[in-house]
Amino acid sequence: MTVLQSGTLVDSRYKVAQRIGSGGMADVYLCEDQHLHRQVALKVMHERFAQDKQFVERFEREAQAAAGLQHKNVVGVYDRGQVGGTYYIAMEYLTGRTLKDVVNAMGALDPKLAIHIVQQVLAAAKFAHSRGIVHRDIKPQNVMIDDEWNVKVTDFGIAHNPVAGDVTQTGQMIGTAQYISPEQAQGKPISSASDIYSTGAVLFELLTGKVPFDGESSVAIALKHINEPAPRPSLVNPAVPPVLDAVVLKAMAKSPVERFASADEFSAALENAKVSLGEGAGKTEIRSAPTAVAATAAVAATPPSEDELKRKRRKRNWIIAGCVLAAIAVALLLWFLLAGNKQTVPNVIGRSVGDAQSRLASAGFESQVFNEQTTKAPAGEVFKQSPGGGEEAKKGSTVILTVSSGPGKVVMPDVSGLKQSEATEKLEAQGLKVTVKKEFDPDVKKGRAIRTTPLAGTTAEKGSEVDLYISKGPEQIEVPNVVGMDIEEATTTLEKDGFEVDTIEEDSSEDEGQVLKQSPAATTKADDGSTVKLTVASGTNDVPDVTGLSEADATQELEDAGFKVETSEVDVPDSDDDGNVVGQDPSSGTASVGSIVTIEVGVFSGTE
C-alpha cells in the first residue's frame, strides 16, 4: 500500500501535510499546492487496486465525472495523475463536517433545516443528472456541511455515466445498503430516480435521526429496501408533519416511475412543505389530482334516495361476492400451477460466485449477488444462500447469494513501547490474530513491544496472523577472563566484546596497572553493554624495616616487597654492627613498587 509521509512532494507540486481520511478504495491527504498556494485534498487509490483495470476505470471515471460538475453544491476536482504505482485525484479541500457527523451529534433536525439541506443535495443531483451522471451513492457521509449550512456533495467514485460506460458487474449491488434504491439492490439498470430514492432515505434520517431500514448485514438491509414499504418518518418522530411523511414516501416508492420525476419536482414538493410548515405543521397534505377532483365532485353531488342506496348495496354485495369467488378460483389455479413448477435449489455454498451462478442457471434459477466482508470464506466464494440448498423454490425465481469480499483491511496500529498484554489487546481489537515472538533489544525495556510484522501504518487483512516482537532486554554474553592483564589490554578486550569498564585501585605487590580481580567473574554471563568492574594494582607497597638485619637478609626482604635495593657503607664504632643494616631510606611508610630503597651497611674499621 502506498502511504505518503508528511513532506512528500507529489508530481513536484502537491506537498503532503497529513492523511485526513481513508476509504475502501483510497486514502485522502491534506496537501499544499505549491503552484497555486492553496490547500487541496489528494485522493490516492490503494495500490492493490491499481493493477485492477476495472478499479482504475472506476477511479478515473470519478475524476472525469466530477471534473465536469462545476457547481456550488459539488466538490471541485482540479487535477489527476500518478504517484508511485498508483493514481491520485486533486480535489477541493473542504472544512466542516459530514452530514452524518451532524446527525450523530444532533439527532433529528428541525424540519425546515432538513429541507434546506436536502434541497441543496437535490440541486447537486439535478446538475449531475442534466449531464447524464447518476451519483448512485448519495448518503450523509458524502455530504459536507459548513458552519453556514452550505452543502457540498462529494465522492463520485461509483457514479454512472451512460456515455462513458459502466464497469459494474451485472447482478452486483453498488451503493451503501442503508440508502440504496431497490433497483440498485437487485442489480437492475439505474437512473436518476435511483438518486431520488437515496435522497429520500437521507431526508428520512434527517427528520428522525435514524436510517429508514437497518439490519444485521448489508444483505438484510438491502432485502428490506426491496420488499418492505418505506416507513413514515412520523412513526419514529411524531413531530414530523404529514406533509413531509408524504414527500418521503413518494421519494422512496419501490417503483422508479412512482417517485418524483426529477430532482426539481422533489425540491418543489419540499418548497411546498416548507410553506406549509410556515403556516403551521401538518395543515396541508400532498394528494394526487384525481383524489382531489373526486373529493370536490362528491361535495357537489345531490344526496341519493333510500331505494337508490338499497340498489347500490345489493349491487355492491353481488360484486363483492363475485370478486371473492374469482379470487378463490385464481388462487386455486396459481396453487396448481406453482405446485407443479417447483424445483430443488442446488447447494452452492463454498463455490466461486461464477460457478454458483452457472449451476443455478442450469437448474433454472436466477441469481442475485450481494458482497459482504467476512472471515468465514475467502474472497469470491459464496458463504450464504437463500433459499438454501435442498429447499424447494419456483423455477425461474431468484436465489440470493452472499459472496465474501474478504475479511476487509485494517491499518496496523503502532504498539511499540507497550506492555505485551496492552499491545496484544490493541491488535486483537482490530480483528487480528497475534503471535508473540521474543528477541534481545538493547534499547527496549524487557517485556515491552519492539515492533510488529506487518509494520505499523501498513495494512493487513482482518483475521490474519501478525507477529508481535517483545523485548528480552539486552542480549547476555560471556565475560572474558582479564585477570593478570595490564589495564590497557583488559579494557580493550572487554570493550571489544561489548562491555563498559570501571576500575578501582588496590595496594598490591603486583606491577602497577595489573588487573587483580574482576566482577562479574570470568565465564559468567552479563547483559550486552553492561559494566565490568576491575580491581587494579595501585603500584605502591609498605616499606619493611630492615635495620639490624644483615645486608643479604635486608636485600631479600626488600626485593620480596617489590623494591629495588641500593647499598652504601658507613663506619660504625661497634663491631657488632659490622655487616648489618644501620639505616635505610625510606625508613617506613609506603613507596611505589619497583622504586629504590637505600640501605646503609655498617663497616667496623677500628680496634677495641
Give the tens place of pLDDT for each residue, 368-418.
777 777 878 888 899 988 888 999 888 888 888 888 877 777 888 999 999
Q: In this predicted structure, what is the pLDDT of residue 281?
A: 37
Q: Which residues contact 370 (CB under 8 A, 6 or more apart)?
A: 173, 218, 219, 222, 400, 401, 402, 403
Cell numbers of 337, please? 400451477
Q: Who wins on pLDDT, 71 or 322?
A: 71
Give the tens place of pLDDT for each residue, 253-276.
999 999 999 999 999 999 999 887
Cell numbers of 427, please? 491488535
Please report, rounded to a whole number, the percentage of residues in the chain having pLDDT higher than 70.
82
Fold type of domain 409-471: Trypsin Inhibitor V; Chain A (3.30.10)
Please report, rounded to a whole number, the percentage of residues in the chain having pLDDT higher than 90.
45
Q: In this predicted structure, what is the pLDDT of residue 200?
A: 97
Q: Which residue has the cell 438518486?
A: 195
Q: How confident is the model at residue 111 (pLDDT cuts 50, 70, 90)?
A: very high
Residue 535 has pLDDT above 90, yes or no: yes
Region 226-232 average pLDDT: 92
Q: In this predicted structure, what is the pLDDT of residue 570?
A: 93
Which of 273, 283, 276 shows the shortest CA–CA distance to 249?
Answer: 273
Answer whether CATH 3.30.10.20 is correct for domain 541-603. Answer: yes
CB 453, CB 415: distance < 8 Å: no
Q: In this predicted structure, what is the pLDDT of residue 490?
A: 94
Q: Which residue has the cell 432538513?
A: 114
What size, in residues, is the chain?
608
Give the residue range(s) of CATH 1.10.510.10 domains in the chain.
Answer: 97-291
Give the residue range(s) of CATH 3.30.200.20 domains in the chain.
Answer: 9-92
Tell me if residue 230 falls in helix, strand or coil: coil
Task: Check if 137 is active-site.
Answer: yes
Q: Give the span between the Cα atoms of 135 and 119, in whole angstroms.
A: 16
**Mean pLDDT (the chain, rounded):** 82
Q: Give the span between the Cα atoms of 473 and 457, in whole angstroms.
A: 25
Give the CATH number of domain 9-92. Answer: 3.30.200.20
Give the tens place of pLDDT for each residue, 126-141.
988 888 888 888 999 9
Q: In this predicted structure, what is the pLDDT of residue 540?
A: 76
Give the CATH number of domain 476-538. Answer: 3.30.10.20
Domain 342-404 class in CATH:
alpha beta
Q: How confident is the model at residue 66 (pLDDT cuts 50, 70, 90)?
A: low
Give the CATH number of domain 97-291. Answer: 1.10.510.10
Tell me if residue 595 falls in helix, strand or coil: coil
Q: Which of 11, 33, 137, 195 is catalytic?
A: 137
Tell me if residue 245 falls in helix, strand or coil: helix
Region 197-207 average pLDDT: 97
Region 46-74 average pLDDT: 71
Q: In this predicted structure, what is the pLDDT of residue 285?
A: 34
Number of H helices, E strands in the chain: 15, 29
Q: Who wins on pLDDT, 556 or 589?
A: 556
Burial of 284 (0-12, 13-18, 19+ CB in 10 A): middle
Cell numbers of 16, please? 503532503
Residue 119 has pLDDT above 90, yes or no: yes
Q: How confident is the model at residue 9 (pLDDT cuts 50, 70, 90)?
A: very high
Q: Give the span between the Cα atoms of 327 and 325, in whole angstroms.
A: 5
DSSP H stretches of helix in 280-417:
289-300, 306-339, 353-362
Dihedral angle computed from the Cα positions of residues 297, 298, 302 and 304, in that order, rounded to the nearest 10 degrees: 140
Preceding amide of 454 cis, omega within 30? yes
Q: How confident is the model at residue 3 (pLDDT cuts 50, 70, 90)?
A: confident
Which of 25, 64, 61, 58 shows the shortest CA–CA distance to 43?
Answer: 25
Give the tens place of pLDDT for each residue, 280-338.
433 333 233 332 222 222 233 334 455 555 565 566 566 666 655 665 665 555 555 54
Q: Count Cβ neighbours within 10 Å for each residue of 143-170 and write b for 16 or more, e otherwise.
A: bbbeeeeebbbbbbbbbbbeeeebbbee
Residue 44 has pLDDT above 50, yes or no: yes
Three state DSSP letters for 389-430: CCCEEECCCEEEEEEECCCCEEECCCCCCCEHHHHHHHHHCC
Which of 104, 280, 283 shows the shortest CA–CA distance to 206?
Answer: 104
Q: In this predicted structure, what is the pLDDT of residue 165?
A: 35
Q: Strand 531-537 and strand 500-506: pairing?
A: parallel
- Of 49-53, 64-68, 270-274, the one with minimum mean pLDDT is 64-68
- Rounded to whole angstroms, the maximal C-alpha distance in the chain is 188
Give the residue range(s) of CATH 3.30.10.20 domains in the chain.
Answer: 342-404, 409-471, 476-538, 541-603
Region 198-218 average pLDDT: 94
Q: Is the dihedral of CA 21, 462, 353, 363 positive or negative?
A: negative
Tell me if residue 504 falls in helix, strand or coil: strand
Q: Is the dihedral of CA 373, 378, 381, 383 positive or negative?
A: negative
Give the tens place of pLDDT for each residue, 124-181.
999 888 888 888 889 999 899 988 899 999 876 444 443 333 333 334 445 678 999 9
